[in-house]
Amino acid sequence: MLFGKKKRQIVRLLLVEDEPLVAFDTEYSLTEAKFTIVATTDRVAEAMPIIEDDDRIDMLVVDVNLADGSGVDLARAAHARGVPVLFVTGSFPDEAEAWASGCLSKPYSPRDLLAAIAAIEALLDGKVTKRLPLGFRLFGTV
Tens-level pLDDT at each residue, the chain (142 residues): 455 566 788 999 999 999 999 999 999 999 999 999 999 999 999 999 999 986 889 999 999 999 899 999 999 999 999 999 999 998 888 888 999 999 999 999 999 999 999 999 999 998 888 899 999 999 975 6
The confidence score (pLDDT) of residue 103 equals 96
pTM of the predicted protein model: 0.92
Q: Break the chain into its structural domains and give their ranges.
A: 12-126+133-138
Neighbours of 52 (CB within 10 A): 12
The Cα 118–Cα 22 span in angstroms is 20
Please answer whether residues 125 and 9 qualify as being in contact, where contact means their C-beta atoms are separated by less than 8 angstroms. Answer: yes
> What is the CATH class of 12-126+133-138?
alpha beta
The confidence score (pLDDT) of residue 25 equals 97
The Cα 11–Cα 134 span in angstroms is 23
Phi, psi of 107 (to 5 degrees): -75, 150
The confidence score (pLDDT) of residue 86 equals 97
The Cα 73–Cα 51 span in angstroms is 11
